[in-house]
Structure 1
Amino acid sequence: MKIGQGLSDGALNVVHLPLCLFITISLSGLFSLAFKLGYMPIVISICIFLSVVLLVAIFTSKFHSMSLIGTRLSLAHISLTCLLGGVAVHPPPEIPIMMLWSISIIATTSIIISTIEIWLTEKVQYSSAFSQQLERQINGVLFFSIALFIYASGKVNEWVIAIGVINHATLFYTLIFPNHYKKPLKSWYPFLRLGMIIIITLALLPIITSQIALGFILISLGLCLAAGATEIRFSLVYNHIHKIRK
Structure 2
Amino acid sequence: MQNIILHKANTRGHANHGWLYAYHSFSFASWYNPERVQFGVLRVLNDDTIASGMGFGEHGHDNMEIITIPLEGDLAHKDSMGNAETIKTGDVQVMSAGTGIRHSEFNPNADQQTKLFQIWLFPRVRNVEPRYQQITLDVTKQKNNFAQILSPNADDAGVWIHQDAWFHLADFDNGFSKTYSIKKEGNGMYVFVISGSISVDGQELETRDGLGITDFETLEIKASTNAKFLLMEIPME
Q: Same fold (TM over 0.5)?
A: no
The TM-score normalised by the length of structure 1 is 0.26
Q: Hey, which of these two has a bigger chunk of helix by percent?
A: 1
The TM-score, its normalising length taken from structure 2, stands at 0.27
Of the two, which has the highest radius of gyration?
Answer: 1
